[in-house]
Structure 1
Amino acid sequence: METLAGLLELAFLVSFIVAIVYGVKWFKQRKDKESDLFKKSKKKFIITCVVVVCTFIFGGMAQNSADEAEEQAETAQQQKRNKSNYKDDKEEFATQYFALGHKVEQLSSKEGNEWNDAIENSDDDFDVDSTIDTIQNNHTDEIDDVDSKLSDLHDLDQKIQKNDSVDDSDKEKIHNAYLDAKHFANHATNISGSYDDFMDKHNELDQKVADHVEELQDL
């Protein structure tokens, strides 16, 4: 189709030039309107004008068709690239998700153990806020690492959400997995509440993340 458009464009240019030539001849011969040369020039000018109009119209139609075909081909290629990207992104998301979940579970478990030890070793003057501050100060590097890994997971989640080739159901599963990982990470990096509440939440979120790990493997 693009070749046809090119040929019609060439025909348009040639016929346009020819029309100008015959138009000039016709104009020069206008003094003798009854002569055969005048009539022939007029006839040829009209014919070439018709050709100019036809090649212009059909050339435009052919070019539009060529542009649409090119756009469709590019769209198909982009969809193919998106599907390929999703496959890689999905695998990377699952890998990062497992690593983050494991990291958070270890951190939260350590914090819970230290909190429990602080309670058992305390007298009547046990201070919850002071204990929480001490625990978090003991794990500053780990908390920073969790925050960094969570940020990377967020970026990957957003990349997948913006990929038009991904099924909505897959997007929802991946995003829900990210949200629960985020809640688990926040639970471990921003300790609050009582010890019992902390441990109950730990068990709940740890199980949710573990379930998501299995779900991601089935995508």
Structure 2
Amino acid sequence: MPTIAWIILGIGFLVAVIGGIFFFIDYAKERKNKLSSMLMGAGLVIILIGGLTGFSVNAHNKQVESARLAKEKKENEEKDHNFVRAATSFYSTLSDTDDKIVNLGNKEYDYWGDAIDNSGDDFDVDKTIEDMSDKYSDKALAISENVDSASSDLKKMEKNDTNHFNIKPFKTAYKQFSLKSDFVEYPDGSYDDFIDTLNGYNDKIKSSDSDMAEQLEKMTDINE
């Protein structure tokens, strides 16, 4: 019950008690007890007002809380829908990106191997990587644009995250895909380590990929 209602009830109770005391004093002295009766009546009226005030305030607070919860539920449902749309787009984009990375990685590996085979004793790894990056710059750009698109989707997911779904595997996947795309856009290290490096990123992505798929399965009950 609200504090104001307790105060009113307290005042009413006090007035009623005082009226009761005067009533018994008047009764004992056989005096007219009109004032004491009025005091008791006023006290009872004040108590009634306090009770009604408490009831009204509680009813109002419940309405306000109910409206707040309804608004919060609606907002969370809208956020969940936005999260699902962004997550679906994110997963689709990364799948397409992975295909592009594999395709570019294979071409770079072949290019690098051919450069070694045809170089004789004059092999220059830095020039080979630079020439290779220039040759496949259009493919690298397409990968970079996909990663940027995935980044945008991830930001939407973060903005609409209500903790209904687990965003962590999406963040982990994005980090590994970013590193993997950076590597194929401009490889470093040695030719012998090229495939192992790509496979290392793939192994890290696989675990987050299954976790993302699990979250996407949970999203099937969200109507877009």
TM-score tier (shorter)? 0.5 to 0.7
Quote the residue 2:184 is aligned against. 188
- CA 1:116–1:196: 2 relative to 1, 3 Å: same
Distance 2:120 2:155 in 1: 49
| Pairwise CA distance, 1:131 | 0.4
Answering whether residue 156 of structure 2 is matched by residue 159 of structure 1, we say yes
Q: Is the 8 A contact 1:82 1:164 kept in 2?
A: yes
Quote the residue 1:130 is aligned against. 127
Q: Which structure 2 residue ranges, 5 or more long, are not aligned?
A: 1-45, 216-224
| Residue correspondence of structure 1 range 52-201 to structure 2 within 5 A | 63-162=60-159, 163-167=161-165, 170-201=166-197
Quote the residue 2:31 is aligned against. none
Q: TM-score, normalised by structure 1?
A: 0.67
- CA 1:151–1:166: 2 relative to 1, 3 Å: farther
| Pairwise CA distance, 1:121 | 0.8
User: What letter is aligned with 1:188?
Assistant: V
SS in 2 for 1:100: helix
Give identity over the alignment, percent: 23
Q: Report Cα offsets for 1:61-84 as digits up to 9, x if no partner.
A: 655443332211110111222222
SS in 2 for 1:97: helix
Answering whether residue 213 of structure 2 is matched by residue 217 of structure 1, we say yes
User: What letter is aligned with 1:112?
Assistant: Y
SS in 2 for 1:216: helix
Q: Is the 8 A contact 1:100 1:150 kept in 2?
A: yes
> C-alpha root-mean-square deviation of aligned residues, in Å?
2.9
Distance 1:210 1:182 in 2: 15
| Pairwise CA distance, 1:199 | 2.3
- CA 1:54–1:216: 2 relative to 1, 3 Å: closer
Q: Is the 8 A contact 2:101 2:181 kept in 1?
A: yes
Distance 1:91 1:64 in 2: 40
Distance 1:91 1:174 in 2: 11
Q: Which structure 1 residue ranges, 5 or more long, are not aligned?
A: 1-49
Answering whether residue 205 of structure 2 is matched by residue 205 of structure 1, we say no
SS in 2 for 1:166: coil
